[in-house]
Chains A and B, each alone.
Chain A
Amino acid sequence: DAGITQSPRHKVTETGTPVTLRCHQTENHRYMYWYRQDPGHGLRLIHYSYGVKDTDKGEVSDGYSVSRSKTEDFLLTLESATSSQTSVYFCAISESVTRNNQPQHFGDGTRLSIL
């Protein structure tokens, strides 16, 4: 299995509070991604990173920010959580997408509930 660790695995918080999810990889892969998975929508890309301090938005980026200060860590922050952000969040990594068509490998997910 790819060395991807997501933390926390579960979190319950209240509307309006800030939340940070962490993704840590030991594979030294260049690309890292954050997805959310909701019934009826499948996996949707929130943000991705193509290197340290290099990030870009995905299709559902509103209300989320990311940071990548080290190759191994990719943080997802909900500045002020809303109930619509209740979801399962997955981190994924990929070695090289543009050159070698490498697949993504996923972490085990973080189940986030916002009350």
Chain B
Amino acid sequence: EDKVVQSPLSLVVHEGDTVTLNCSYEVTNFRSLLWYKQEKKAPTFLFMLTSSGIEKKSGRLSSILDKKELSSILNITATQTGDSAIYLCAVDATGNQFYFGTGTSLTVIP
């Protein structure tokens, strides 16, 4: 059975800290791994990682895919209160279906 596991489930940090969120997966036909940020409403797309693009960076956020370890990390440096959200990891395993982890809830305290 395909599955995606995220850790930790929740995290509380102070502004300025650096955080690392983890995502591991077991799927039969990996195509890509995606990270989303969810605040109050819709998940918003952050990064997509594939075999041909294993590292992405945007401002203070960066992500790396480790295909050997079947995992990915999402790093956020110099955290701000606006980074408080649920971060979702999803894996595209068949080209038509995405499997999501349960998410990591990040709270950044001023």
- Smallest CB separation, A50 vs chain B (Å): 7
Interface size class of A (residues with CB under 8 A): 20 to 34
In B30-84, which residues have CB < 8 Å from any A CB? 31-32, 34, 36, 41-45, 48, 50
Interface residues of B (CB under 8 A from A): 4, 31-32, 34, 36, 41-45, 48, 50, 88, 90, 92, 95-103
Which stretch in A14-22, A62-70, A104-112 binds the other chain?
A104-112
Which of these, A40, A43, A98, A108, contacts B41 with CB under 8 Å?
A108
Could you tell me if A41 and B97 are in contact, using CB atoms closer than 8 angstroms? no
B48 and chain A: residue at smallest CB distance: A103
A44 and chain B: residue at smallest CB distance: B100
Max chain A C-beta neighbours (<10 A), residue from B90, B96, B100: B96
Residues of B within 8 A of A103 (CB): 34, 45, 48
Q: Does A58 reach chain B (CB closer than 8 Å)?
A: yes
Could you tell me if A48 and B97 are in contact, using CB atoms closer than 8 angstroms? yes
A44, B103: Cα distance in complex, Å:
12
Interchain residue pairs with CB less than 8 A apart (6): A42-B100, A59-B97, A101-B92, A105-B45, A107-B42, A109-B41
- Smallest CB separation, A31 vs chain B (Å): 7
- Smallest CB separation, B34 vs chain A (Å): 6
A45, B98: Cα distance in complex, Å:
8
Q: Does A115 reach chain B (CB closer than 8 Å)?
A: no
Known A43-B88, A97-B92; judge A104-B98 contact (CB<8 A). yes
Q: Does A90 reach chain B (CB closer than 8 Å)?
A: yes
A50, B88: Cα distance in complex, Å:
24
